[in-house]
A and B are shown apart, each in its own frame.
Chain A
Amino acid sequence: DTEVTQTPKHLVMGMTNKKSLKCEQHMGHRAMYWYKQKAKKPPELMFVYSYEKLSINESVPSRFSPECPNSSLLNLHLHALQPEDSALYLCASSQDRVAGAFYEQYFGPGTRLTVT
């Protein structure tokens, strides 16, 4: 099974809401990633988890809070977002963090987030 699943597919939230995005993989990968993609722009890395520990935070605002409860699951908790945070949020995984540079990353289909 080489699938990365993400839920929900679509999410609309107000600026005062708290919501979470979920990502799951069952490939035994030990590195997991969150990317943000705005329209007509390339995906931008937000966070990298390696062996369930946060390894890279690309200076993401604290209103985005990642969590890796176990090696298969990655969450992104959202609170007090702004309309400019509306984007496609992609999750990816790789065998480990070093492999993520030198081997392919496996991507989920993304969650389309709209902040109103």
Chain B
Amino acid sequence: ILNVEQSPQSLHVQEGDSTNFTCSFPSSNFYALHWYRWETAKSPEALFVMTLNGDEKKKGRISATLNTKEGYSYLYIKGSQPEDSATYLCAFGHGGGTSYGKLTFGQGTILTVHP
């Protein structure tokens, strides 16, 4: 069983704070690491998909880094806004053989940004 762990489970920050959270995954047989944002009553929305060790991706105030050798990814949010409140999920993308297309998700980090 492949374990994808996220920490912290939840986070409360004030508007304007910068924050980051972690996703840990097995470093062997790595293919891809996905980050999704899931707002209440909406669909999960892809933020980033990273495949190469050392990848850094950025979308507005949100960025992510990837270390496949040690099996972790960080998601950073700069200057948090109330609209950033959501559950942030990472997922290990399986590749090879019969597993192509399979995503194994972490438990998620619930972010609440207080005005």
Contacts and interface: CB of A to CB of B under 8 A. Distances in A.
Interface stretch (A60-68, A69-77, A97-105): A97-105
Interface of B: 4, 31-32, 34, 36, 41-46, 49, 51, 89, 93-95, 98-108
Interface of A: 4, 31, 33, 40-45, 48, 50, 55-56, 90, 94, 97-110
27 contacts: A42-B4, A42-B106, A42-B107, A42-B108, A43-B44, A43-B103, A43-B105, A48-B101, A56-B101, A98-B95, A98-B100, A98-B101, A99-B101, A101-B93, A101-B103, A102-B32, A102-B49, A102-B51, A103-B49, A104-B34, A105-B34, A105-B46, A106-B43, A106-B46, A107-B43, A108-B43, A109-B43
A45 B107 CA distance: 14
B102 A45 contact: yes
- Which 6 A-B pairs give the minimum distances between C-beta atoms? A104-B46, A100-B101, A42-B105, A97-B101, A101-B93, A107-B44
Nearest to A4: B43
Nearest to B9: A40
Contact of B101 (A31, A104, A107): A31
Contacts of B34: 104-105
